[in-house]
Structure 1
Amino acid sequence: MEPAISVEIKAEKPTDPKRSEWMGRVRTQATSAEQRVASCLRSMGLSYRRNVRSLPGSPDFANKSGGWVVFVNGCFWHHHTNCRRATVPMTNSSFWAAKFASNRGRDARAIRSLRKRSFRVAVIWECETRNPAALRLLISRALSSVGSSKP
């Protein structure tokens, strides 16, 4: 019996210093999309904690006692399906394809784990945060019976 051969394929990392510097300036917390969601949650009377590291995926917003979490995903980084912002850079496209697949896989694992713990999970995409009224409706539907005030 022959031993199994494991082959690991790694995509090249971008090496262009200008691109690296530009990508290093991308915010990971307190983005404008997150600020809009935070404002909407506050206006709905919902209390929350931000970036809760004790939960799978470190949700952007969470209320453990209320049993809900909200992820605010960037359309580019999490590759929002059928969104014009979910582009693939032409340079080093194999790296980016692997990166996006990895991000989406990690997101799915975190969501499954949270749902196993009986959390209600809402995923809000960056492009969905532009219209405050639509955002409020989206959050209220996703979290349904959460909160003291009616949305």
Structure 2
Amino acid sequence: MSRIRSKDTKPEMMVRKFLFGKGYRYRLYDKKLPGKPDLVLSKYKTVIFVHGCFWHGHTGCKYFVVPKTKTEWWLNKINRNKELDRKSVKKLKTDGWKVIIIFECKLKDGKAGKTLENIANRIEANGNTNH
């Protein structure tokens, strides 16, 4: 697991390049905020998490398959990740942040363009933009 990247992943870089190209400016991995969001757009009071489907247990996704070995250990780890995600999102919303969560599968299989445009629309939108 030491070789697994937690920063600068391909899906994350895709989102960053798109947003930068659209003129959005952001900070990366703000440790002061719950969950250390991947991107923080302070001007829009918006944070973006780009989640790996496996690591964050994306239910119903073809990229989330529980390993056949050490199954209990993996399920505990993934469930811990999901619980930490829930707590972070709840705290961020309580503090007035707009939270956008993008799973890696939404940036694959020809879905990237639509997903990226949706992110830009959600940044600009008022009110609740979470799913």
Same fold (TM over 0.5): yes
| CA deviation vs aligned residue, 1:60-110 (integer Å, no higher than 9, x gap) | 000223200000000010011110111111101010111111000000100
SS state at 1:71 partner = strand
Shift of 1:127: 1.0
Shift of 1:57: 0.3
**In the aligned structure 1, how far is the partner of 2:43 from the partner of 2:103?**
24
**In the aligned structure 2, how far is the partner of 1:80 from the partner of 1:142?**
21
Alignment match, 1:136:
116
Whichever of the two has the greater Rg, that structure is 1
Is residue 52 of structure 2 the alignment partner of residue 74 of structure 1? yes
The count of residues paired between Structure 1 and Structure 2 equals 124
Aligned to 2:41, which of 34, 46, 63?
63
Structure 2, gaps ≥5 residues long = 127-131
SS state at 2:116 partner = helix
**In the aligned structure 2, how far is the partner of 1:143 from the partner of 1:108?**
20
Shift of 1:24: 1.3
SS state at 1:29 partner = coil
Alignment match, 1:101:
79
Alignment-mate amino acid for residue 25 of structure 1:
R
SS state at 2:40 partner = strand
Structure 1, gaps ≥5 residues long = 1-22, 147-151
Matches within 5 A, 1:1-150: 23-130=1-108, 131-145=111-125
Query: Relative CO higher for 1 or 2, CA cutoff 8 Å, sep ≥ 6?
Result: 1
Q: Under a length normalisation based on structure 2, what TM-score does the superposition of the two structures give?
A: 0.88
Alignment-mate amino acid for residue 52 of structure 2:
G
Q: Is the 8 A contact 2:47 2:98 kept in 1?
A: yes
Identity level (%): 31
Q: Under a length normalisation based on structure 1, what TM-score does the superposition of the two structures give?
A: 0.77
Q: What is the root-mean-square deviation in Å for CA atoms of aligned residues?
A: 1.4
**In the aligned structure 2, how far is the partner of 1:52 from the partner of 1:69?**
10
